[in-house]
Amino acid sequence: MSAAEILLALVTLQRGAELVIANHNTRKLLARGGVEVAPRHYPMIVAMHAAWLTALWIFGRDQAVNLVILLFYVALQGFRFWVMRTLGSRWTTRIIVLPSQSLVSAGPYRFLSHPNYAVVAAEIALLPLVLGLSWLAAIFTVLNAAVLAIRIRAENRALA
């Protein structure tokens, strides 16, 4: 296996584990009276992320790994963990509102209203750059920005 394949396998496993956690948390939130808001755009988010990861496997599996950019990507995982830990059982890939709960204002939410989306935007740009695929970083950064514009608008309305 190449270094790029090992990296992509680790990212794929991470994303799979996060989906398991997100689905578990979604079920628990809905059971506690949570309400899913704006679910129609969710398949678009899933498709964009699946296409990103697939494109990385297709075009990046034999590329050299830029260790400097990889260090930034790895550091970003600390921020991802911080977001997930701060939200705890409220972290999910869907917009679930618990009417009886106040907004989270601890951790990274003290500094940004949507820190998870900032992490995701950086990851979508950085991982292709780790593999020298600047054109892929550009394409998926634009696609992600379009999807996040829809998502953040829906989430802000839901949380208002």
- Please report, for the domain that includes residue 118, its CATH number: 1.20.120.1630
Distance CA 87, CA 107 (A): 9
C-alpha distances (whole Å) from 34 to each of 21, 67, 100, 142 are 17, 42, 9, 32
User: Could you read off the pLDDT of 92-151 as tens digits, one per residue?
Assistant: 999 999 988 888 999 999 999 899 999 999 999 999 999 999 999 999 999 999 999 999
Structure token digits, residue 152: 């953040």
Give me the count of residues in the chain.
Answer: 160
Res. 160 pLDDT band, cuts 50 70 90? confident
pLDDT (0 to 100) of residue 56? 98
Helix residue spans in the chain (DSSP H): 3-31, 42-60, 67-87, 115-130, 134-159
For residue 113, the enclosing domain spans 3-159
Mean pLDDT of the chain: 95
Q: Is the pLDDT of residue 30 over 90?
A: yes
Per the structure, how many domains does the chain have? Answer: 1
Assess contact for 37 and 99: CB atoms under 8 A. Answer: no
